Amino acid sequence: MSVAFDEKVHKTLADANLQLAIYRATGRLIDHRKHAVAATVLPDYQELRTQANAIKKHTIDHLDHYLEQFEANVTAHGGKVIYCEDATEVADFVLGLAKERGAQLIVKSKSMTTEEIDLNERLEHHKLESVETDLGEYILQLAHQRPYHIVAPALHLTRYDVGDLFARTLGVANETVVEKQTLIARAVLRQKFLAADIGISGANFLVADSGAVVLVENEGNARLTTSAPRIHIAVAGIEKLIPRAQDLAVFLKLLGRSATGQALTVYTSFLSGPRRAGEIDGPEEFYVVLLNNGRTRLLADRAKRESLYCIRCGACLNHCPVYRKIGGHSFPWVYSGPIGAIITPQFLGIEHEPSLPFASSLCGACAEVCPVKIDIPKVLLDLRAEAKQAEGRKGANRMERLAFKIWAWVMCHPRIYEMAAMVAASVAPAGNGKWLRSAPAVMNLPPVRAWLSQRDLPPAPAKSFRQLWRKR
């Protein structure tokens, strides 16, 4: 484990209030989802998952075709598609357009993809104000923090934190009633919406046969972002495509339910191009930025390609016993939880945080609740193998590799295995499980001690299986 990861994990574990906040928030989301997908309310839930998986697999396997179809349809409706390789290209495009149009102010709706490329920071570096408008994201922007959770970005902050923050950054009275805090944010952000020149959104889905961007939200800030300013720019990863508008009947039923337990979120926007002749309002210009940022590398790996099916519902975070203890900020990048553990190493390279795929108990809860049936534990195992191979190439962890080599050799030699087992059993008194504390000095060697600090060894049985087998 890298020192930074280790430190963040321990800090989170030691913070009782934070532990309670994570536990409560994820527990509530687990509960809401459970009711929303129950057989009594959604009898075809499993069929929908199977269909969603099949559609995503088909789309990702033919992604070039659907990208071109999407682009052609956006263009036909008077919009424009811009392909960007990385963060710099996205920022350059937005900055260039803002300069050309004389834009001063940008409003943003929630988008994990723009978090991924630090878009706000890049724009603000060039003196372009870019304001997050989702309440949670707005709070985080004021606090200069990353989202803690894909769906509930500020779940780690209390109303008292928010009261202090608003008082400090907005110059308002310190208000701790959540309704009043919400009204403060509403008033500030309403003025921003009405003054903004450009609205930047993400995309939950890109619909190839319609050239449409689909946005799912509860607050209405994504609708305002895409309706009030003169220019709408949607920034999305290239994996967001689905083939047909009709496929939304499958995905929309799964997304809200898996995320927050809502049959449908309050607002679902299906946006295909700028305002048309005769329509009264809406943006005059419509751009879709398609971002690669490492996705094609992932696409090339047939075994792990399914990681790109993710629709960012956050259910795997809520159900993960590891996320529920170590929280969102322990993870090294913007994506946390099981999905973060599988896509971070693939986007950034395994060497970025090689221990990440190991931060899982492989219990399989994530795969069980995934609405598009990504086999997250399988991908984690593949990544573990990759991490170990990378370690081997670097010549790191000689001790561990030697230990496993010896282990493998012993396991291949039955007589020697039996002798070793007898020695171990004679040192270990059966039953009390405490034998290691008083065991020989070898147990106190740092690597062994580190290993045992998190694990219990079962007590040695009085007779080994082999002995019992022979006497059978």
Partner 1 sequence: MSREAILNQVRTALGRGAGQGIAQPPPVRLRVDDMDLETRVGSLLHAVEALAGKTRRAATGEEARAYVRAVMHGRTAVASNAPFLRECGIVDLAGVQSGFTDATALRTLCATADVGITCADYALADTGTLVMLASPAEARLISLLPPVHIAVVPKERVLSGLDELFTILPDPAARTSSMVLITGPSRTADIEQILVRGVHGPGEIHVVVVE
Contact 222, 109 (CB under 8 A): yes
Contact 82, 74 (CB under 8 A): no
If one asks whether residue 124 binds partner 1 (CB under 8 A), the answer comes out as no
Interface residues for partner 1 in 257-296 (CB under 8 A)? 260, 262-276, 278-282, 286, 290, 292, 296
If one asks whether residue 194 binds partner 1 (CB under 8 A), the answer comes out as yes
Instruction: Please choose, out of 244-252, 333-341, 402-410, 447-455, the segment that lies near partner 1 by the rule CB under 8 A.
Output: 244-252
The number of residues that bind partner 1 (CB under 8 A) is 102
Q: Is the dihedral of CA 309, 376, 293, 255 positive or negative?
A: positive
Minimum distance from residue 323 beta carbon to partner 1 (Å): 16
If one asks whether residue 200 binds partner 1 (CB under 8 A), the answer comes out as no
C-alpha torsion 266→270→275→277, nearest 10 = -120
Interface residues for partner 1 in 351-380 (CB under 8 A)? none
Q: Which is nearer to partner 1, 10 or 168 (CB)?
A: 168
Q: Which of 120, 133, 204, 346 binds partner 1 (CB under 8 A)?
A: 133
Minimum distance from residue 34 beta carbon to partner 1 (Å): 16
Q: Which is nearer to partner 1, 218 or 355 (CB)?
A: 218
Give the integer Cα–Cα distance in Å for 55 and 240.
Answer: 12
Interface residues for partner 1 in 153-182 (CB under 8 A)? 153-155, 157-159, 162, 178-179, 181-182
Output the DSSP codes for 389-401: HHHHHHT--HHHH
Element (H, E) at 237: strand 231-237
Contact 16, 318 (CB under 8 A): no
Minimum distance from residue 158 beta carbon to partner 1 (Å): 6
Backbone angles phi, psi at 372, to 5 degrees: -110, 15
Q: Which of 4, 6, 24, 423 binds partner 1 (CB under 8 A)?
A: 24
Q: Which of 80, 186, 378, 401 binds partner 1 (CB under 8 A)?
A: 186
Helices (H), 196-336: 221-227, 248-260, 295-299, 315-319, 323-326
Minimum distance from residue 172 beta carbon to partner 1 (Å): 15
Q: Which of 2, 104, 169, 246 binds partner 1 (CB under 8 A)?
A: 246
Q: Which of 139, 341, 342, 380 binds partner 1 (CB under 8 A)?
A: 139
Contact 256, 32 (CB under 8 A): no
Binding mask 306-345 for partner 1 (x = CB under 8 A): ----------------------------------------
Structure token pair of residue 163: 């009261």
Q: Which of 94, 119, 150, 248 binds partner 1 (CB under 8 A)?
A: 248
Q: Which residues contact 89 (CB under 8 A, 6 or more apart)?
A: none
Which residue(s) pair with 214 in the sheet? 205, 270
Minimum distance from residue 340 beta carbon to partner 1 (Å): 20
Comparing CA positions, the residue from 371, 239, 373 lying closest to residue 314 is 371
C-alpha torsion 301→307→311→314, nearest 10 = -160
Q: Which is nearer to partner 1, 285 or 353 (CB)?
A: 285
Give the integer Cα–Cα distance in Å for 243 and 236.
Answer: 16
If one asks whether residue 120 binds partner 1 (CB under 8 A), the answer comes out as no
Contact 189, 97 (CB under 8 A): no
Backbone angles phi, psi at 207, to 5 degrees: -100, 115
Q: Biggest alpha carbon distance in the chain?
A: 90
Minimum distance from residue 423 beta carbon to partner 1 (Å): 52
Helices (H), 201-289: 221-227, 248-260
If one asks whether residue 82 binds partner 1 (CB under 8 A), the answer comes out as yes
Give the integer Cα–Cα distance in Å for 312 and 372.
Answer: 10
Binding mask 204-223 for partner 1 (x = CB under 8 A): ---x-xxxx-----xxxx-x
Minimum distance from residue 77 beta carbon to partner 1 (Å): 6
Q: Which is nearer to partner 1, 269 or 344 (CB)?
A: 269
Binding mask 399-438 for partner 1 (x = CB under 8 A): ----------------------------------------
